[in-house]
């Protein structure tokens, strides 16, 4: 393997850095042909027409200098703004200096040449804290820093299939086997190698690290001894960091390990260094870098005694990054090596966890039970055995066994993480067994024992779902909503509360709760939330219409219009349209009915012919009543053609006939009035047919239609007095035109019977008198004229007086003759 270049970790002031970078001679300039910034892993690549002398210096936490001897860089090649930026800092006749600036702090840096490319690999703080994306498999040539630098050829074939692990007798299978590999014979008696090994074997890693540092300062140290002391110092630092259980202890390790690799590129201890480097990046949270180094060890250092532990650590990493399926074959290979490994028990447990994650619950349960059976102390020492063993049994369908393990776990470790969830799971299992009484008992136990936690919140919701009393249910749901507002079950609780309100007829409260849920973010409950809101709104609207509270419906509709438009329920807009119609707000009614039609056609389950026919009919009514006659004519025409068997054919024909009549199209209007008559629209259709006949000059036909209409009107409940007055009055006028004066008297008498207060009774008596006079009933006519002449109606009394004078004059003149 080619060496890693020695890393420059010193902090150099700008001025001093410039002196270092300008300390070369002059030559012909080489062109930089490309400058590129990459992510995952973070790196900067410079491509040259041919390699040049270069130095890379870290200036501070966010900046690097790249000094290039006898090279030129065009400004146009530099990448645009981003998390990693590259700019030309300065130019001299022999040196071009580039400045690399990063948005995130630089924790580690290394660089090297691959062909004519200079690659600067960066470990940024943001990357170290990030998790590898779920279910994304990245090839080793991307994840492995050595391969980015062109140092290790990627082997062909499946990495998992070509991972060969060996358990050597007398070795632990971990990086601690280094203590057996280091050759102390290469050191002199005073170099301290034996003492350092003794300290490390006893676990005194910090002291061993200090002793190794002292020994390395000795003069004339043999290279083989220095190499061994360096790697032991690295191992001591690594083990010290692991034992501290704190991430800060690992931060300086990548630089130290890479320093060893740079100094001893052909060292037999190289796989130990690479394995520790992978574990270090794993501890720092840089899973991509960790996986890359682990795979380098497993694929390129076959036979390495510490490979089983490397494979084990890689498998753990894969499981923790949601790639348990990939971890399974690797862990099986590790566990198949037997009990000689120092971490055999841990590997079995990890195998059980991986089996649990991949859904093989029966095997996971069996393995956890085997681990519990190996030692009585194991159950007391490791809570995970009972917890995960119980959960695996539960998911494998062995509920009785699961309950035993989970209850034992909660009793032995009442304060352990997951204890509340264990008891809650027991309650769930009793629900599955059809024992809600026992389930409620366990849910109550969780609520009494704990005050927070996943199991506690879940128990609150599950208990509420099982209780019959509404007040208790509301109290529990309210507690979840108020005290655990960020928990996903708080959103479910809001939905349950909305259901309770709706079932109790408190529809407005239900809608308000759904709105609150949508405001905080319903997530996966969004569809159910909208469905609940639809149901509540429809219940509210139907109740209001049944009570005649159409004004309240309109007010609610306008207030919640934004939400209602999102629901896109045709029935909501249909009811709103009907409310607007009742309030005589025909323009608004038409608008909402049009929306109902559009939504009905959009939602297939609403778009039946009968439903659409009804909507078109109501839309035509709204347009007609609102005076939008042309639009109403279009809708009614379409309705009559498209839905010949719909129940609204009669009224639609009548309304369309009226529109055509008012437009002067009498013949077409008459056809429609006759059609409406055939559908049972009797009285009104007869009245309109009489108008058509009258306008066409057929007074007899017009009178005949009115005579048919009047009995129908008089049979109505309640009696339509205004319509009867108008019919009798028109019939009287028609009879007068036909010369049937005595029939006109009867008609005017009918009009007088149904006349309202706004109609002058004296006028109607005058008309009757006129008809009697023309019909030869002079005496009767004069009696009526005299009655009108003595009335308080100045106009008609005057008219009656004139008629009386004329009749008396005619009588005298007739007598004289």
Report domain extents, the chain: 14-133, 467-567, 761-817
Residue 6 per-residue DSSP state: P
**Structure confidence at residue 40 (pLDDT):** 60
More confident: 618 or 90: 618
Average pLDDT over residues 580-604: 88
Residue found by looking up tokens 């035109």 in the block: 737
Q: Measure the CA–CA gap between 231 and 253, rounded to whole angstroms.
A: 12
Q: Which 3 state secondary structure label does DSSP give 44?
A: strand
Helices (H) and strands (E) in the chain, counts: 40, 9
Instruction: Identify the band that residue 601 occupies on the pLDDT scale cut at 50, 70 and 90.
Output: confident
Name which of 220, 218, 216, 249 is nearest 230 in CA terms: 216
On the question of pLDDT at 335 being above 70, the answer is: yes
Summarised one tens digit per residue, pLDDT across range 200-249 is 888 898 998 888 888 888 878 888 888 888 899 999 899 998 888 777 88
pLDDT score at 553: 94
First-to-last CA distance in the chain?
153
DSSP state string for 455-513: HHHHHHHHHHHH---HHHHHHHHHHHHHH-TTSHHHHHHHHHHHHHHHHTT-HHHHHHH
pLDDT of amino acid 135:
34
What pLDDT was estimated at residue 152? Answer: 41
Q: Which fold has domain 467-567?
A: 1.25.40
Quick one: tokens of 645? 């068997």
pLDDT over 70 percentage in the chain: 90
pTM: 0.62
Maximum Cα–Cα distance for the chain, whole Å? 176
Average pLDDT rounded to a whole number, residues 595-610: 75
Question: Distance between CA 328 and CA 346 in Å, rounded?
Answer: 14
- pLDDT surpasses 70 at 120: yes
Please state, in angstroms and rounded to a whole number, the distance separating the CA atoms of residues 297 and 546. Answer: 78
| pLDDT band, very low/low/confident/very high, at 71 (cuts 50, 70, 90) | confident
DSSP reduced 3-state for 710: helix
Which DSSP symbol is given to 34? E
pLDDT, mean over the chain: 84
What is the sign of the dihedral through the CA atoms of 304, 305, 306 and 308?
Answer: positive
Residue 99 has pLDDT above 80, yes or no: yes
Find the mean pLDDT for residues 691-698: 92
Residue 718: is the preceding peptide bond cis (ω within 30°)?
A: yes
Give me the mean pLDDT over the 49-77 stretch. Answer: 83
Q: Is the pLDDT of residue 536 over 50?
A: yes
Tell whether the model's pLDDT for residue 138 goes beyond 60.
Answer: no
- Quote the crossing angle between the two packed helices 761-774 and 794-816, to the nearest 10°: 20
CATH 2.60.40.3500 fits 14-133, yes or no: yes
Name the pLDDT band for 125 (thresholds 50, 70, 90): low
Give per-residue pLDDT as tens, 175-198.
Answer: 888 888 887 667 877 778 888 888
Q: Specify the pLDDT at position 117.
A: 83
Range of weakest confidence among 90-104, 346-360, 639-653: 90-104
- Provide the pLDDT for residue 55: 83
Calculate mean pLDDT across residues 371-390: 89
10 Å Cβ neighbour count for 159? 16
Question: Among 369, 329, 333, 330, which Cα is nearest to 349's?
Answer: 369
Q: What are phi and psi of 597, to 5 degrees?
A: -65, -45
Q: Are 167 and 338 in contact (CB under 8 A)?
A: yes
Q: 310-322: string of b/e by CB count within 10 Å (b at 16+)?
A: bbbbbbbbbbbbe
Assign residue 697 a region: left if phi > 0, alpha if psi is -120 to 50, beta otherwise? left
Predicted local distance difference test score (pLDDT) of residue 189: 74
Percent of the chain clearing pLDDT 90 (strictly above) = 39
Mean pLDDT confidence for 552-576: 92
Confidence check: pLDDT of 366 > 50: yes
Q: Identify which has the larger pLDDT, 609 or 27.
A: 609
* Burial class, 429, CB count within 10 angstroms (exposed 0-12 / middle 13-18 / buried 19+): buried
In tens, the pLDDT along 627-683 reads 999 999 999 899 898 888 888 888 899 999 999 999 999 999 999 989 988 887 788
Q: What is the pLDDT of residue 155?
A: 38
Which of 540-544, 680-684, 712-716 holds the top average pLDDT?
540-544
HSE-up of residue 201 (Cα within 13 Å, Cβ side) = 10
The single-letter DSSP state of residue 341 is S
81 pLDDT exceeds 90?
A: no
- Residue 24: how many other CB atoms lie within 10 Å: 16
Q: What span, in angstroms and rounded, lies between the C-alpha atoms of 693 and 6?
A: 111
Q: What pLDDT, on the 0 to 100 scale, is given for residue 146?
A: 44
Whether a cis peptide bond, with omega within 30° of 0, leads into 597 is: no
- The pLDDT, as a whole number, for residue 481 is 93
pLDDT tens per residue, range 385-408: 999 999 999 999 999 999 999 999
- Listed ranges 109-118, 188-197, 419-428, 681-690; the one with the highest mean pLDDT: 419-428
Q: What's the average model confidence in pLDDT over 350-376? A: 90
Task: Spell out the alpha helix ranges (H) of 570-608.
Answer: 570-582, 586-602
What pLDDT is attached to residue 23? 37
Residue 571 has pLDDT above 50, yes or no: yes
What's the average model confidence in pLDDT over 691-706? 92
Lateral strand order in the sheet of 30-38: 71-72, 30-38, 43-48, 117-124, 106-114
Task: Let me know: does 589 contact 582? Beta carbons within 8 Å.
Answer: no
Query: Quick check: 164 pLDDT over 80?
Result: no
């Amino acid at each position: 393997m080619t060496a890693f270049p020695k890393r420059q970790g010193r902090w150099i002031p700008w001025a001093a850095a410039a002196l270092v970078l300008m300390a070369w001679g002059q030559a012909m300039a080489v062109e930089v042909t490309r400058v590129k910034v990459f992510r995952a892993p973070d790196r900067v690549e410079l491509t040259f027409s041919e390699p040049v002398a270069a130095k890379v210096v870290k200036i501070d936490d966010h900046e690097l200098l790249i000094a290039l001897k006898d090279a030129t860089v065009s400004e146009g090649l530099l990448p645009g703004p981003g998390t990693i930026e590259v700019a030309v800092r300065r130019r001299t006749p022999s040196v071009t200096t580039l400045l690399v600036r990063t948005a995130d702090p630089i924790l580690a840096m290394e660089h090297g040449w691959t062909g004519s490319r200079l690659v600067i690999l960066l470990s940024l703080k943001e990357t170290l804290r990030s998790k590898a994306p779920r279910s994304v498999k990245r090839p080793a040539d991307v994840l492995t820093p050595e391969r980015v630098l062109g140092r290790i050829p990627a082997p062909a074939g499946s990495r998992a299939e070509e991972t060969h692990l060996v358990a050597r007798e007398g070795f632990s299978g971990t990086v601690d086997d280094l203590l057996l590999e280091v050759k102390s014979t290469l050191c002199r008696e005073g170099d301290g190698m034996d003492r350092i090994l003794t300290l490390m074997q006893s676990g005194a890693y910090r002291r061993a690290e200090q002793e190794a540092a002292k020994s390395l300062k000795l003069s004339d140290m043999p290279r083989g001894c220095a190499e061994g002391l360096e790697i032991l110092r690295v191992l001591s630092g690594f083990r010290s960091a692991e034992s501290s259980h704190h991430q800060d202890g690992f931060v300086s390790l990548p630089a130290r390990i890479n320093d060893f690799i740079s100094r001893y590129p052909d060292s037999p201890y190289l796989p130990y260094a690479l394995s520790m480097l992978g574990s270090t990046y794993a501890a720092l949270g840089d899973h991509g870098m960790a996986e890359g180094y682990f795979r380098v060890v497993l694929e390129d250092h076959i036979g390495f005694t510490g490979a089983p532990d490397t494979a084990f650590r890689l498998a753990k990493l894969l499981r923790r990054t949601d790639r348990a399926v990939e971890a399974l074959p690797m862990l099986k290979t590790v566990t198949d090596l037997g009990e000689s490994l120092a971490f055999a028990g841990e590997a079995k447990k990890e195998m059980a966890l991986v089996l649990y994650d991949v859904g093989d619950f029966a095997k996971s349960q069996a393995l956890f039970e085997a681990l519990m059976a190996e030692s009585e102390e194991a159950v007391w020492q490791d809570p995970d055995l009972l917890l995960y063993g119980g959960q695996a049994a539960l998911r494998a369908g062995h509920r009785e066994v699961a309950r035993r393990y989970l209850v034992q776990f909660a009793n032995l470790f009442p304060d352990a993480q997951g204890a509340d969830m264990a008891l809650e799971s027991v309650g769930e299992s009793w629900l599955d067994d059809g024992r809600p009484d026992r389930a409620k008992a366990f849910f109550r136990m969780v609520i009494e024992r704990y005050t927070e936690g996943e199991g506690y919140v879940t128990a609150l919701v599950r208990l509420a779902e099982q209780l019959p009393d509404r007040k208790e249910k509301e109290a529990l749901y309210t507690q979840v909503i108020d005290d655990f507002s960020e928990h996903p079950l708080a959103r479910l609780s809001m939905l349950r509360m909305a259901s309770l309100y709706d079932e109790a007829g408190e529809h407005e409260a239900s809608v308000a709760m759904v709105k609150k849920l949508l405001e905080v973010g319903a997530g996966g409950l969004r569809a159910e939330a909208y469905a609940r809101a639809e149901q509540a709104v429809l219940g509210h609207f139907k109740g209001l219409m049944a009570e005649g509270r159409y004004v309240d419906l309109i007010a609610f509709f306008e207030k919640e219009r934004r939400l209602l438009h999102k629901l896109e329920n045709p029935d909501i807009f249909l009811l709103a349209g009907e409310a607007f119609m009742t309030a005589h707000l025909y323009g608004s009614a038409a608008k909402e009915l049009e929306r109902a039609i559009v939504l009905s056609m959009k939602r297939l389950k609403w778009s039946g012919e009968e439903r659409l026919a009804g909507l078109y009919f109501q839309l035509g009514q709204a347009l007609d009543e609102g005076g939008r006659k042309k639009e109403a004519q279009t809708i009614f025409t379409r309705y009559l053609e498209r839905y010949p068997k719909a129940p609204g054919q009669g009224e639609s024909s009548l309304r369309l006939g009226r529109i055509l009549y008012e437009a002067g199209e009498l013949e077409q209007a008459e056809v429609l009035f006759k059609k409406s008559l055939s559908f049972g629209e009797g009285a009104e259709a007869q009245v309109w047919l009489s108008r058509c006949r009258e306008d066409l000059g057929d007074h007899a036909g017009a009178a005949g239609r009115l005579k048919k209409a009047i009995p129908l009107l008089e049979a109505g409940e309640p009696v339509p007095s205004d319509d009867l007055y108008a019919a009798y009055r028109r019939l009287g006028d028609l009879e007068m035109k036909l010369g049937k004066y005595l029939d006109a008297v009867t008609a005017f008498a009918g009009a007088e019977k149904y006349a309202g207060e706004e109609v002058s009774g004296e006028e109607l008596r005058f008309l009757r008198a006129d008809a009697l006079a023309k019909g030869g009933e002079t005496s009767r006519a004069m009696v009526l004229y005299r009655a009108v002449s003595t009335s308080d109606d100045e106009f008609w009394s005057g008219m009656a007086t004139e008629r009386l004078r004329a009749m008396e004059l005619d009588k005298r003149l007739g007598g004289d003759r």
